[in-house]
A = this chain, B = another copy of it.
Amino acid sequence: MSLKFLPQIRQLELFKDRSPSEFEALVQGAEEKVLKHRQCLFAAGTPASAFGVVVKGALKLVRPSSEGDNTIVHFATPGDIIAALLMSTPGAEYPVSSIAMGHSIVLKIPRSTYAASWFTNASIQKCFGGNLFTRMSQLQAQKAMVKAPLSRKIATQLVTLIERYSGENENILPIPLTRMEIAESLGASVESVIRVMSDWSRKGYISTTDQVIEILEMDKIIEIVKGSSRTKNGRSGQEQPIELPQFRQR
């Protein structure tokens, strides 16, 4: 089998410094999935026959709900391993759907390879643990924020995501992220998210072009993340009520 994206793949923490033979074993039967925006990789409820390693782009892991109000449980970024915990319980089903955000590449690896080469590889298991630990920490951190004002939650979410894309352009989130998705990941309503972010746009803290969010004044955002929680609330803040005529600067 030939891997077209070998260079990117070998660059991931997970595969760095592996001998050719070891690498070969790890990607046995693997498939490079090139996903278009919105395309689904694993659908919730279907039998988990493979797991994935994100190579490029991002995936949202969505927990389906009986009606409308889905929840985004995690944004998987390059290097993230998804659905791996399921590999050791035979017959498991994916508990969440994974859906691409923007053009993404995922290495899809069959369960058999997991049992054969991943599960028994100590160094891999260690990466694994690290990955899980990060994800758990994030979930816990979010849990600790339920009482915080919405603006703080959004700011934290943005900063966290940008940090995960460490390197390159420090202040652009290089994936299409709608306000709806932010809302679903935070357990808020779209409207509320919009109100907060529109306010930031007006103040020039951030700007959005084509679903791609750029942070213009990181220090302001960080300030909100730290959140004195009592003094500023993000949408009204301490703005002076000049009758500004709503010109959109785009």
Contact = CB atoms under 8 A, between A and B. Distances in A.
Nearest to A63: B144
Interface in A8-27: none
Nearest to A126: B88
Tally of this chain's copies = 2
Interface residues on A, range: 20 to 34
Nearest to A146: B187
A110 interface: no
A196 interface: no
A125 B88 contact: yes
B147 A146 contact: no
Contact of A147 (B69, B95, B129, B139): B69
Interface in A167-226: 186-187
Contact of A144 (B65, B85, B89, B136): B65
Interface in A80-127: 85-86, 88-89, 95-96, 119-120, 122, 125-126
Contact of A140 (B86, B130, B139): B139
Interface in A131-150: 132-133, 135-137, 139-140, 142-144, 146-147
A157 B221 CA distance: 34
A133 B73 contact: no
Contacts of A126: 88-89
Contacts of A186: 146
Given A119-B122, A136-B136, A139-B143, 10 more contacts: A85-B132, A85-B133, A86-B133, A88-B125, A88-B126, A88-B129, A89-B133, A95-B137, A125-B125, A143-B143
Interface of A: 63, 65, 69, 71, 73, 85-86, 88-89, 95-96, 119-120, 122, 125-126, 129-130, 132-133, 135-137, 139-140, 142-144, 146-147, 186-187
